[in-house]
Amino acid sequence: MEQKQKSEFTKQLILNESFKLFYKNGFKTTSVDKIMKTTNLTKGAFYHHYKSKKELGLEVISSKIQQRVYQGMITPLYQDGNALAILKVTFSERLKSFSQYDKQHGCPMNNFINEIADEEEAYQLALKRIVEEWKAALVYLLERGKKEHVINKTISSNAVAVYLISSFEGIRGIRKLYNDDSVLDDYILGLSLYLNQLKP
């Protein structure tokens, strides 16, 4: 393996394992030593790629977490079809698709927001960027739905977008308290009732 490839492999290993550890144990309680022990790498290897745990945390947010949100919640909003139906499917099917592990540990982005977003502006900005792009995708879909007469033209697209994101992230956190999906089922029913109110 060429040195450049080996270096990139090492960096991806650190990134992937760090994301898993942050998700499972939290950002603050996961030390560089713990990451190195999990990856079987030296501290020298870590500091060759990252100046600090903060820099690593920012890359986890801008790559791993952003990728999850994009794939699951943003990209589907730009597909063709009935806007209201896309909203229902995107939000409810995403919840249903999570593994038991994901349900028990909640949303990685929301966990980061709750744990560190109020302490460091750099984290705040990185996480806010993802939320704003999610919001923009929702506003785009809602505005398209208005033009196509499937969504009430009088509703505030910004308000609906913020509400949908907030309720989705909230239920991800609340689900951590339960041993089954009954609370998710209630959320999905409530979501359906809410979305039906957006019809013209």
Question: Which pLDDT score, from 0 to 100, does residue 25 have?
Answer: 95
Task: Return the amino acid letter for 121.
Answer: E
Average pLDDT of 44-72? 94
pTM score, whole prediction:
0.93
* CATH 1.10.10.60 domain residues, the chain: 1-50
Which tokens belong to 55? 């820099």
Quote the CA–CA distance of 96 and 185 in Å, as a whole number: 9
The CATH code for residues 58-196 is 1.10.357.10
Does residue 129 carry a pLDDT above 70? yes
Residue range 76-80: mean pLDDT, rounded: 97
Residue 2's pLDDT band, with cuts at 50, 70 and 90, is confident
Q: Residue 1 has what pLDDT?
A: 55
* Eight-state DSSP code of residue 190: H
Instruction: For CATH 1.10.357.10, list the domain ranges present in the chain.
Output: 58-196
pLDDT tens-digit readout, 82-128? 999 999 999 999 999 999 999 999 999 999 999 998 888 999 999 99
Return the pLDDT at 180: 95
Phi/psi of residue 33, nearest 5 degrees: -60, -40
149: left (phi over 0), alpha (psi -120 to 50) or beta: left
Q: Which CATH class is domain 1-50?
A: mainly alpha
